[in-house]
Each structure stands twice: as C-alpha cells, then as structure tokens.
C-alpha cells in the first residue's frame, strides 16, 4: 500500500469494483470516525485485535462491505453477534436504504455499538442486548428480510441462530473464511431450518491474499417451531 493512504481511508476507492460501491468523501470520513471510536474504546471493551488503520480498512470495512450488493433495496436486516459493529455499521454507512436490528450478547458491546451509531448519525439502526436464539423464539421470529453474521460460530450453529429470524423468501448471508470445510456438515441443518443450497461467492480481500466466501442462503420454508432450541444447544449439540 502507498504512503498516501496513511492519513485516511482513500484506499477503499481501489476496492469499488469488487464491492460494487462508490465511496465519496463523506463515506470515507465516516469510516475514519468509526475507526477512531473503535480504537478509543478497544482497551476497555475489547472490540477487535485489528487496530492498524490499513488492516482495519481492509479486514473490517472492506470485508464487511462484500455483502452490500447482495442485499435487496430497502431490506430489513438483522445482524447476529456484531461485536464491534461488523458488518452492520459499514453496511449502513454505504446503504442508508437498509434498516438494521443487531442482537449482541455483550452489554458493553451493545452500548458501544449504539453510541457509535448515534455519533455517526445512523438512522433505523439499533442494537439490542439479546441473544439471537432468544430473539428467534420471540417477537422477532421470521420478521427480517435478511440476516447477516460474520465470524460468530460454526456454520451449522449459525444457521440455527439466523434462519428462524428470516422471513420465507428472505436470505441469510454468512461471512466465512473456510466455507468448504463447514458446508458438508451443515447441509442437514439448512434443510431442517427451511433453506436451500447456498450460493457461494468466493473472493479475495483487496491488497491481500486473504480468501473469503459469502454463503447466501435463500429461505424457502418456515422454520419449525422447535428451532432455535435455546439453552446453548445450538453450540453444544449442533444440528
């Protein structure tokens, strides 16, 4: 990377073709402000190990935005386990047409995300201190057009968290680094939970040799009422 990128996030402009997005100065300033908030709070909240600015721009911002062009216009989106606000805050900055509800198990991270969203002026964006499995058994069940999850859990566990939250006809997008290793053991879970075979989008993050795969599941049928099972069964005894 060139030295001219050291002061801001202009390097993202070289990823526009890959991401299907166009960055203006307002977007880049928003990413810079978000970066500053993350790094300021990181010591007390432990949001990320990626704190060098260029790595943050590529491995957090650009990575989060790889799904942007696959989300329908005006969709309602839920984010499962967003941690430091990824992928939803970068997606919202670039896709103001989307509305977001985030489910985060950590109270401190929930507080940080809502504070950062307020600072950035993000509307129709709210993070709840709630586990996804609880949300999927309550009033949020099958209420979203899209679910997203990045670096949260193994795929078969993720499917049980996410698909109960998605309307039939909606989609679930899983960000994965080693998708092929997880796909074969997750086929049964996808079918049981109402999805079909996913579309796999393979890509390499800009300026790196880091491979990523987006797994895009179309929800075909309603999820049986017994899922998600709760009680941590999604992790301890995945489908």
Q: What is the CATH number of the domain that holds 39?
A: 3.40.50.150
Number of structural domains found in the chain: 1
Q: Is residue 180 part of a domain?
A: yes
Structure tokens at 163: 């698909």
CA–CA distance, 86 with 37 (Å, rounded to integer):
13
Distance of CA 44 to the CA centre of its chain: 23
Within a domain: 1: no
Strand 99-104 with 76-80, pairing: parallel
* pLDDT tens over the chain, length 239 residues: 344 444 468 999 999 999 999 999 999 999 999 999 999 999 889 899 988 999 999 999 999 999 999 999 999 999 999 999 999 999 999 999 999 999 999 999 999 999 999 999 999 999 999 999 999 999 999 999 999 999 788 999 999 999 999 999 999 999 998 788 889 889 999 999 999 999 999 999 988 998 999 999 999 999 999 999 989 999 999 99
In a domain, 102, yes or no: yes
Instruction: Look at residue 70 and tell me if it is in a domain.
Output: yes
Supply 29's token pair.
């300033």
User: For tokens 């300033």, what's the residue?
Assistant: 29
Domain that holds residue 123: 7-236
Task: Give the Cα separation of 105 and 99 in Å (integer).
Answer: 20
Whether residue 163 lies inside any domain: the answer is yes
| Residue 207 falls inside a structural domain | yes
Q: Does residue 122 form part of some domain?
A: yes
Torsional sign, CA 210, 112, 72, 198: positive
Q: Give the length of the chain.
A: 239
pTM value? 0.94
**Residue 2 domain-assigned (yes or no):** no
């Amino acid at each position: 990377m060139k030295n001219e990128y050291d002061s801001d996030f202009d390097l993202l402009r070289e990823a526009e073709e890959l991401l299907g997005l166009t960055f203006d100065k307002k977007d880049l300033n928003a990413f810079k402000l978000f970066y500053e908030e993350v790094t300021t709070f990181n010591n007390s909240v432990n949001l990320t190990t990626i704190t060098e600015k260029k790595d943050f721009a590529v491995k957090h911002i650009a990575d989060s935005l790889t799904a942007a062009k696959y989300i329908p216009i005006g969709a309602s989106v839920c984010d499962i386990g967003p941690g430091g606000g990824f992928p939803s805050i970068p997606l919202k900055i670039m896709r103001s047409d989307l509305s977001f509800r985030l489910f985060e198990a950590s109270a401190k991270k929930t507080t940080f995300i809502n504070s950062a969203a307020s600072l950035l002026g993000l509307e129709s964006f709210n993070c709840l201190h709630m586990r996804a499995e609880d949300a999927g058994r309550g009033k949020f069940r099958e209420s979203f057009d899209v679910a997203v999850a990045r670096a949260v859990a193994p795929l078969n566990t993720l499917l049980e968290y996410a698909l109960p939250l998605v309307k039939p006809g909606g989609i679930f997008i899983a960000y994965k680094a080693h998708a092929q290793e997880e796909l074969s053991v997750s086929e049964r879970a996808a079918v049981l939970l109402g999805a079909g075979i996913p579309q796999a989008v393979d890509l390499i993050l800009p300026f790196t040799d880091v491979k990523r795969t987006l797994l895009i599941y179309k929800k075909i049928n309603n999820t049986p009422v017994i899922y998600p099972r709760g009680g941590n069964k999604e992790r301890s005894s995945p489908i």
